[in-house]
């Protein structure tokens, strides 16, 4: 009887050690996925907000389009087109990479 209890205690200790190592591995894995999951959560919250408030989204887009098309004096120089912002951002990234790679 004593030998069976000792064997069970030993087996229980081995299982507890295995559980602890698995818990540590799971913690390390979850740390890697914490940021991507947080970004997805923010995106889902934004989509849920747009789903709950479609008129706010539509009104904002319509106002932005109207300002862009009709223009407010002086604003067209500041906001020429949405395509301009995208292209300037892309080109600034390439310029930054080029400047970083060229010796001064």
**Separation between Cα atoms, residue 62 and residue 65, nearest integer Å:** 5
Q: What are the sequence ranges of the domains in the chain? A: 1-52, 54-104
Residues 68, 71, 74, 80, Cα dihedral to 10°: 30
Predicted pLDDT of residue 101: 56
To the nearest 10 degrees (0 to 180), the angle between helices 2-52 and 54-70 is 50
Most distant pair of Cα atoms in the chain: their distance: 94
Over residues 78-87, the pLDDT tens digits come to 555 665 666 6
Over residues 46-64, the pLDDT tens digits come to 889 888 888 888 888 787 7
Percent of the chain with pLDDT over 70: 63
Over residues 13-23, the pLDDT tens digits come to 999 999 999 99
Mean pLDDT calculated for residue range 5-28: 93
């Amino acid at each position: 009887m004593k030998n069976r209890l000792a064997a069970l205690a030993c087996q229980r200790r081995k299982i507890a050690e295995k559980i602890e190592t698995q818990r540590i591995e799971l913690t390390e894995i979850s740390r890697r996925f914490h940021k991507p999951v947080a970004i997805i959560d923010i995106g889902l919250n934004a989509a849920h907000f747009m789903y709950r408030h479609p008129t706010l989204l539509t009104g904002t887009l319509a106002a932005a389009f109207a300002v862009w098309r009709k223009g407010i004096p002086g604003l067209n120089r500041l906001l020429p087109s949405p395509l301009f912002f995208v292209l300037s951002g892309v080109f600034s990234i390439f310029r930054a990479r080029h400047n970083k790679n060229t010796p001064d």
